[in-house]
Amino acid sequence: MNRGDAADLLVSVALGAWAAFGVLALVVVGRAGSPLWLDDGFLAWSVGHRPEVAVAVARGVTASGTGVVPYVLVVLAGVVAGRTLWHRLLAAVLCLACLGLGQVLRYALMEFIHRVRPPQSDWTAHASGWAFPSGHTTTAALTAGLLIAALTLRRTHGGTALRIAVGCWGLFVGVTRAYLGVHWFTDVLGGWLFALGWLGACLCAAAYLLPAPFLTHTTAHAPQPTENQENHAPQDPGGGGRSRPA
């Protein structure tokens, strides 16, 4: 896929995600933050299915979606994406900017929407601030998306398995937020849609603005003979100019 095709695809993904996020946000605001669709059902199910081991695993996974871990991972994404030292530094800065600016925009939306979290009696983890869109979900999804983009760009060995693992981690962080009772399920859905829209916009900008050598995967090939070399190459070395017998 060339640069133009990739940019067009990313524009479509970003616009679709933003449209879906906008509809969901309008519904949340219109309902004054009250639970929607699957929210009550998912919360009731999670409260009734919380063995100690599952809660401990969920807390561990959810903790990886905030703090320093995502920022370390996006720097790693930059290192993977670049082929030279300069490219790696540039990619790391751009990945950090994508994540950091996404966080600023998310905070602004949370303050604007003012959705209250589920009842605190159902929480099994610490939480603070407003609910929509889920912060851990957004952060983990953006981080996972940047890592997947870097692995795809550089076609690393075992990249498919790594991309699947990273994608599952990004999704699972969001699921744990609803499972632990600190977010409604639609908060998590909003975080996924917001992350997809913002990531699509950032990657689209990168596809248009970054120099071509940064975005192409090159491998070493044996030098090909030039047209001049082909014209002057001996046709029958050692044959004395005679045609070989059939």
Phi, psi of 156, rounded to the nearest 5 degrees: -70, 155
Mean pLDDT of 173-177: 97
| Token pair of 7 as six digits | 């940019």
Cα torsion angle, 210, 106, 193, 49, sign: positive
Question: DSSP secondary-structure letter at 64?
Answer: T
Q: How many CB atoms lie within 10 A of CB 113?
A: 18
Please, are residues 95 and 78 in contact by the beta-carbon 8 Å criterion?
Answer: yes
Domain boundaries, the chain: 8-210
pLDDT above 70 coverage of the chain, percent? 83
Query: What's the rounded Cα separation, in Å, for the pair 152 and 48?
Result: 40
Lowest mean pLDDT: which of 72-81, 144-153, 189-198, 212-221?
A: 212-221
Alpha-helical segments (H) within the chain? 3-30, 39-48, 52-63, 68-81, 85-113, 135-154, 159-179, 185-209, 212-215, 227-232
Mean pLDDT of 37-45: 93
Query: What's the rounded Cα separation, in Å, for the pair 187 and 91?
Result: 30
Mean pLDDT of 194-220: 77
Q: What is the pTM of this model?
A: 0.83
**157 flagged as catalytic:** no
* Class of CATH domain 8-210: mainly alpha
Residue 228 burial by Cβ neighbours in a 10 Å radius (0-12, 13-18, 19+): exposed
**136 flagged as catalytic:** yes
Query: What's the rounded Cα separation, in Å, for the pair 50 and 29?
Result: 30
Selected catalytic residue, list 87, 136, 157, 232: 136
Mean of the per-residue pLDDT values for the chain?
86
- Smallest Cα–Cα separation from 81: which of 8, 140, 148, 11? 148
Selected catalytic residue, list 49, 114, 157, 183: 183
Q: Answer with the residue of higher pLDDT: 156 or 122.
A: 122
In the chain, the largest separation of any two C-alpha atoms, in whole Å, equals 96
Question: DSSP secondary-structure letter at 120?
Answer: G
In sequence order, which residues have a C-beta less than 8 Å from that of residue 82 and are 6 or more positions away? 88, 89, 90, 91, 92, 214
Query: What's the rounded Cα separation, in Å, for the pair 190 and 21?
Result: 6
CA 169 to chain centre: 11
Q: Answer with the residue of higher pLDDT: 80 or 235.
A: 80
Mean pLDDT of 147-172: 87
Q: What is the pLDDT of residue 229?
A: 47
Tracing tokens 């995967």 back to the chain, one arrives at: 217
